[in-house]
Amino acid sequence: MTVYADVLFLVNFSLDYVSLYITGRLLSAPMRTARLCAAAAIGAVYAVSALFFELPEALYIAVTLAVSAVMCLCAYKRGGAAFCIGAAVLHFSVGCALGGAMTAVYSLGAGYGDSLDGGGVPDAGVMAAVAAIAATAVAAGARIAARRRGIEKKRITVKTPYGEGSYDALCDSGNLLRDPVSCRAAVIISADAARAILPRELIDAAKSDDIARALDSCKPEDAARVRLLPVSNVYGRGMLVGYRPDCVSSDGREYDFILAISDKKDGFGGCDAIFPAEAARAPIFETIVKGERHDP
């Protein structure tokens, strides 16, 4: 049987892209098209290279899982050995499921042998149909699951001495970030969205590898409002720059929150900020707009 390397590359690239997308949706991992394409290319190159080597079945599965781990690390940029191993196993399983689905489609048609065009290349139309159905099913399932988890969004207004801005914020009960000194809850806001209401020095500090040194350039009046917030998330452990705004308000209520500035561009669910859902429901974190604010 004649196998064309370029066609094999394109077929595997397409399937790997879809399987990486499905895996990312199942894991609720942040995804970018460029990273998914790079990871899919790694898988496609491996598939072509495998034609030139004969490995025992057990070793072949082990190598394939290792390549899957590299692909997942490239696609999702989430740290931790446990995540990489789990994502690799899930990606491998999704790939097997997609392959099985295609085989079933071929078998239900004119027959597997008749569904191959000139030399063992799967029909592109069938491949695209199965991939599209699988991706659509996962996307729909993710939306339904999100609704069942009660995910909601808020429109918040943030006032600082530098201006006022309105943002869409994802209400997330997983946002447990607090100022370790005052115990105030934090609204996590992307650095790009915060440019309009915060000084440039603070945005630069949030994106710097040496936050403490970068904060030395802040004005004295800004330094009095700055907080350093230790954070632990899927990206690992680190520090976020916090800032005490004049107020954060939503739905006619004012909240005594800290702004935590994140330089990440993903993980906001399509919003500009992440609102601490549990803290917002607790009266201790909340003052009515007419009420008086007290610092601890």
pTM confidence score: 0.49
DSSP code of residue 178 = B
pLDDT score for 42: 92
pLDDT score for 293: 43
How far apart, in whole angstroms, are the C-alpha atoms of residue 60 and residue 207?
Answer: 42
In what helix (H) or strand (E) does residue 277 lie, and over which residues does it extend?
helix 277-281
pLDDT score for 291: 38
Comparing CA positions, the residue from 110, 144, 139, 145 lying closest to residue 126 is 110
The two tokens of residue 253 are: 């209520």
Beta carbons within 10 angstroms of residue 167's beta carbon: 23
pLDDT along the chain (296 residues), means of 10: 69 84 78 87 87 80 86 77 81 79 57 44 56 60 53 85 92 83 89 90 84 79 88 74 91 88 76 79 43 41
pLDDT score for 244: 92
Phi, psi of 202 (to 5 degrees): -75, -40
Cross-strand bridge partners of residue 261: 189, 241
Comparing CA positions, the residue from 213, 251, 206, 257 lying closest to residue 231 is 206
DSSP, collapsed to helix, strand or coil, labels residue 64 as helix
247-250 and 121-122 beta bridge pairing: unpaired
The two tokens of residue 22 are: 């499905």
